[in-house]
Structure 1
């Protein structure tokens, strides 16, 4: 032994001596090897194992070998783990459970049972985690005798009623053919979950007990447990038998209606509507549940037309009562199809039949009007509703927000608070986007406070909405704090934060977050790539954006859709690679739409490429410009190219189509109140003071070098008039008002409905020098952070 130790010491040197003296170093080395997964680390694990055994450290520190054993188990080296396990004088219950579980799942299964009896022999007390593992081994081996004995052990420990142990016992007894014993175990379960029910259903199905299997499915639904795909798999073997009985001419009575309705409902829940329809047609006496299951199944599968066809058949069947569930589903179908005429007819039926007293039906009708966009009908019905709940308020608020009436949505929320209706998580997810759209930071901050007080701050959907709200209200730093403080995140969380960095012009941060997302094990989806490509576009990161686009298709196998091509054309166009952007547009695997050409047209305007701009303008003209923005760009491009006739023709075409350029509108929030400004409008109560402030500002700006860029005035007027028109752009009015209203050096935050023009962009940089204020402008494209005479966009937008 001395010779061996000397030889080992000569190879290990001081390291071995330190390990021999201080066993804590063993723990550190084991933890380090646990982190690593390469073959190199396992070589070191073997050396550490030898060192532990030679030094006899395991005699006084058995936890060392236990850690080694667990590491080998986690690496699927079960036999090596077992060898080390045998060296441990008295293994813990945790290690016993880990070893039993490994064999129960991957075999040899008899070793799991052997280890259980060894555990008993050592005097180690099994716990609630031990029994499910060893019972699984008994179930696989059909070891009924051992299973019964283990069941008795669990009874003596009063653990036989534990949900997981009971489910394992049911599975074991069913597979061993002891159906009655399985039923007795199930009856002792107080709060059985879907897994316990499925164990019974699968067991009955395994033994061909059709009536019992279907009966349990009906009972589980009656008790409020919804079947899942595993239920479907469990009952499928007996469905064939049932259909054979029906085809054999067996008379259909009420019991058969219930059975077939249950099967139909399961097919519908698994989105197998062809099979569901076959069962539906075979049932001659249909009840309201049968009809509801069929209509609901089609709606769930997004087959709205088919749902309405079944509903029409139901309307003709006078013998069957209508259910509120059917009506709610049909209203959802009308909303999805934007079928307002059908929805109004259904509204009349609901009034006559008295169904509007059902809050679920009323909410579905309200939601239908809101989703279709008939906000007048929605608002009128909402005011008529006798009783309202949080779903009612959420539906009408969503309707107002989707139709651009965010102030009305916030007003509804205040009405709800006065009615003492307590907002829930779903309500807050609706409210926060309203605050972000209006840039109503105070409302958003108050909502955040409510979220914290109500204990909803751990809700992932709410946190996602908070990140979006703060980012769109210009508070990207607070959005980042919310993101960093989240314990749980989903893909949407990462997408929202990447998008937030992108619209603020922090493309590098967006890319860093994209890398972190992948490092944390989250798989990017198509929305992720839209966000990151847009972020690269706003920051001029052309090479990085190109790499992301290539990885999307080659690494993640995501097929690009129109939105991705819009982003990549915009990326190259903004970056000045106009020819490459044009090549991408004409080589797309499908016909590019107006949005693709619009992105390229805007780039041609920015980079003053009149030749390509004229070609792109012609493409847009052929497709139909769709928006006033394209008409303006086209007119501008033609004018720049000296083609004044075409420019005039575009303006005439715009007038003929009845399309007017949307007036520039900006708004600011001052002390919780939102003030709106329209370019050239004089309706604000403090308009004269605002004009006076602007006059002072422009006087100071000209002294330090400001010159108006009149190319951004489209009207055919004198140069002096063009300069006057530029002074009264909406964002300048909003900034002047903010300077009058906000004292000290508080930053100014302005939201605009259109892209900020080049002259305003230049003017705001000068204003920050004169007023010594930070100014943030959120336009239709992105955020501009102005401070000290500069904008963080680097004049790249």
Structure 2
């Protein structure tokens, strides 16, 4: 048995001492059993878990069955340490020995699950206790209410509130704090404030819960009012109080007040902790200020505050894109420096970030070093290869995953069906879809149906793809119709394309891009097809939003818009020469597909990705890939242009549009010209 890791220091609305007064002292009797109990108790107090388990096993081998005190000592110690699996195993052994768990046993487990953010299991444990006929005490009720708070289960929390009234613990500060937290998190701020006022002797946790409740509900003025009143009631504000107010302001868009509180808290004698910095980083990312988040991240370390896994998980998603690849590497170096790489969540986030930044090799390297892979880890690497157009590797990882005993889930199966579609393996993909409920206990949902439409559509089985949508038991969404539209467009089926686009316009009537596609298809279809006409706005209005793209050149990000005249005369001339040289090849762009592009160059001007490509060719080293993020789908003409440039100049070009990551190399694209 390995020694459990120490519990991480967290703040909860529920706070109580783990040295329960209900546990009888193991020194109450001089007999051998009590002596052994004392030794086990001492080992647990000293965190000598293995020795405590050894003593327990030794007692049982000698024919002395441990009593409820011994079992409770071990179970509560393991629950307190966060090793709940061992604690539950000990509960099973306790029952096998004929020792009935009492309220202390169950409360230890329920509170342990709450402190480990495993609210579902806490409530299951509470239910087991009630089924066993053990009556909960005030502490048990408070723990169960906290579990309801974390899961936002208002009905169950209200029932527990009634039970607390019944047993007379509702005005206890412990139960009161849990109820305030539960009602606040469930959005019942009036009920939370009523409970808060009824607590006779409010402590710091009562005030923090109420301040947090107002802040989370968006009432930052009310939260600040309580924040200012606390000290007049003799309650000293702590770092949690300040962090709660900072978080409330930044989450509600008032960054200025949040930073003001952050800057002044130490003048009030409250030292910033890692959580204080994490709030600013996460808030900046949430509000779209990615570069500011990175500056805060570096500043945090400059004042010798060590980032934790929450810091890393907050900042990594901000740079999981093509034009921030170098920032992902910088953050990875920081992770490595602080020995955080082995954390499972961080490893998974890194795989995802490297993949989305265009570095599949980096994603694979992190995955290969990942020692504790779970379903999410496998999904990350599978989706990474799908994104980069490597369907064979997706299938390989799928089989390796199953060989290692990891059960595929919803995400895995969606990716595998799409991979089979890219490989043209219709039968294999269909088999996965038809048997997923039986083989993997996964019920097909909209993502799986969309993957099947893509699989059938790629192979030209358009009527089967339409039948999937028509006969499915769920209401189709935008993604399903878009998959059908892509298939119909690629195979030149105007009728089906117009049908899909019309359905899309009904789901998203205010999306100008969909309206342009519908208008273009109506023009192509003319009067020959019996498809309902939809009213579209004028093309000038629909094309009012100028498309743009961003690209990274020498660690700097540049923005281009369609129709820009930003290129130098030399670059503009070079683009013109390239277009002339590639003229014959460009004529075949999109041959056999429907020309239903969202914007035409003759209307909007030279597309922004062409400008970004030529500037990248002229201003970056030959060995550097050109990385571009585009706000709209690539047109056939630009797609062919990028393929030809990659071949002529021997450059890798990566362009991420809303649909695909296009990786152009030696005249080919990873999307296999299907997007």
Q: TM-score range by the shorter chain?
A: 0.7 to 0.9
2:550 paired residue number: 667
The answer as to 2:150 corresponding to 1:261 is: no
SS in 1 for 2:563: coil
**CA-CA distance at 1:687 after TM superposition:** 4.4
Change (3 A) 1:290 1:441: same
Change (3 A) 1:199 1:793: closer
Name the CA distance, whole Å, in 1 between partners of 2:389 and 2:245: 42
SS in 2 for 1:750: strand
Change (3 A) 1:460 1:704: same
**Correspondences of 1:603-614 after superposition (within 5 Å):** 603-614=487-498
Q: Residue 635 of structure 1 contacts residue 646 of structure 1 at CA under 8 Å; is this kept in 2?
A: no
Q: Residue 498 of structure 1 contacts residue 510 of structure 1 at CA under 8 Å; is this kept in 2?
A: yes
SS in 2 for 1:776: strand
Deviations 1:31-74 (A, max 9, x none): xxxxxxxxxxxxxxxxxxxxxxxxxxxxxxxxxxxxxxxxxxxx
**CA-CA distance at 1:350 after TM superposition:** 2.8
Name the CA distance, whole Å, in 2 between partners of 1:219 and 1:399: 30
SS in 1 for 2:437: helix
2:198 paired residue number: 317
1:289 paired residue number: 174
Name the CA distance, whole Å, in 2 between partners of 1:548 and 1:219: 42
Name the CA distance, whole Å, in 1 between partners of 2:111 and 2:673: 67
Q: Residue 748 of structure 1 contacts residue 776 of structure 1 at CA under 8 Å; is this kept in 2?
A: yes
SS in 2 for 1:650: coil
SS in 2 for 1:555: helix
**CA-CA distance at 1:264 after TM superposition:** 3.6
Q: Residue 631 of structure 1 contacts residue 651 of structure 1 at CA under 8 Å; is this kept in 2?
A: yes
**CA-CA distance at 1:516 after TM superposition:** 1.1
Match of 1:442 among 308, 326, 344: 326
Change (3 A) 1:403 1:542: farther
Q: For this pair of structures, how many residues does the alignment match?
A: 608
1:162 paired residue number: 51
Change (3 A) 1:579 1:442: same
1:92 paired residue number: none
Q: CA RMSD in A?
A: 4.7
Q: Residue 267 of structure 1 contacts residue 273 of structure 1 at CA under 8 Å; is this kept in 2?
A: yes
Name the CA distance, whole Å, in 2 between partners of 1:524 and 1:564: 14
1:564 paired residue number: 448
The alignment's TM-score, normalised by the length of structure 1, stands at 0.65
Structure that is richer in helix per residue: 1
Name the CA distance, whole Å, in 1 between partners of 2:534 and 2:127: 68
Q: Residue 370 of structure 1 contacts residue 398 of structure 1 at CA under 8 Å; is this kept in 2?
A: no
SS in 2 for 1:676: strand
Name the CA distance, whole Å, in 2 between partners of 1:769 and 1:160: 64
SS in 2 for 1:784: strand
2:240 paired residue number: 360
1:304 paired residue number: 186
The answer as to 2:226 corresponding to 1:349 is: yes
**CA-CA distance at 1:654 after TM superposition:** 9.8
**CA-CA distance at 1:573 after TM superposition:** 3.0
1:424 paired residue number: 308
Name the CA distance, whole Å, in 1 between partners of 2:76 and 2:237: 39
Name the CA distance, whole Å, in 2 between partners of 1:532 and 1:667: 31
Which structure carries more relative contact order (alpha carbon 8 Å, separation 6+)? 2
Q: Residue 432 of structure 1 contacts residue 444 of structure 1 at CA under 8 Å; is this kept in 2?
A: yes
**Correspondences of 1:607-622 after superposition (within 5 Å):** 607-622=491-506
**CA-CA distance at 1:488 after TM superposition:** 1.6
Change (3 A) 1:550 1:281: same
Name the CA distance, whole Å, in 2 between partners of 1:547 and 1:664: 41
SS in 1 for 2:54: helix
Change (3 A) 1:163 1:511: same
Unaligned runs of 5+ in 1: 1-146, 243-258, 717-721
Deviations 1:201-246 (A, max 9, x none): 979x98889787799899999x99999859758965896567xxxx
2:290 paired residue number: 406
The alignment's TM-score, normalised by the length of structure 2, stands at 0.76
Name the CA distance, whole Å, in 2 between partners of 1:226 and 1:784: 41
Name the CA distance, whole Å, in 1 between partners of 2:654 and 2:327: 19
Unaligned runs of 5+ in 2: 1-31, 266-271
**CA-CA distance at 1:756 after TM superposition:** 1.5
Larger radius of gyration: 1
Change (3 A) 1:380 1:511: farther
**CA-CA distance at 1:522 after TM superposition:** 0.6
Name the CA distance, whole Å, in 1 between partners of 2:111 and 2:93: 11
SS in 2 for 1:163: helix
Q: Residue 218 of structure 1 contacts residue 262 of structure 1 at CA under 8 Å; is this kept in 2?
A: yes
Q: Residue 626 of structure 2 contacts residue 651 of structure 2 at CA under 8 Å; is this kept in 1?
A: yes
1:585 paired residue number: 469
Name the CA distance, whole Å, in 2 between partners of 1:555 and 1:404: 42
**Correspondences of 1:137-536 after superposition (within 5 Å):** 162-168=51-57, 176=65, 232=126, 240=134, 259-266=137-144, 268-269=146-147, 273=157, 276-282=160-166, 283=168, 286-296=171-181, 304-305=186-187, 308=189, 310-317=191-198, 319-321=200-202, 323-324=204-205, 327-328=208-209, 331=212, 335=216, 339-340=217-218, 342-353=219-230, 357-368=237-248, 374=252, 376-378=253-255, 380-385=257-262, 386-387=264-265, 388-437=272-321, 439-536=323-420
Change (3 A) 1:200 1:723: closer
Deviations 1:299-321 (A, max 9, x none): 8xxx7145x45413224427352
Q: Residue 586 of structure 2 contacts residue 637 of structure 2 at CA under 8 Å; is this kept in 1?
A: no
1:57 paired residue number: none
2:21 paired residue number: none
SS in 1 for 2:476: coil
Change (3 A) 1:622 1:668: closer
The answer as to 2:619 corresponding to 1:733 is: no
1:61 paired residue number: none
Worse-matched range after superposition: 394-403 or 705-714: 705-714
Q: Residue 543 of structure 2 contacts residue 599 of structure 2 at CA under 8 Å; is this kept in 1?
A: no
SS in 2 for 1:736: helix
SS in 2 for 1:744: coil
**CA-CA distance at 1:331 after TM superposition:** 3.8
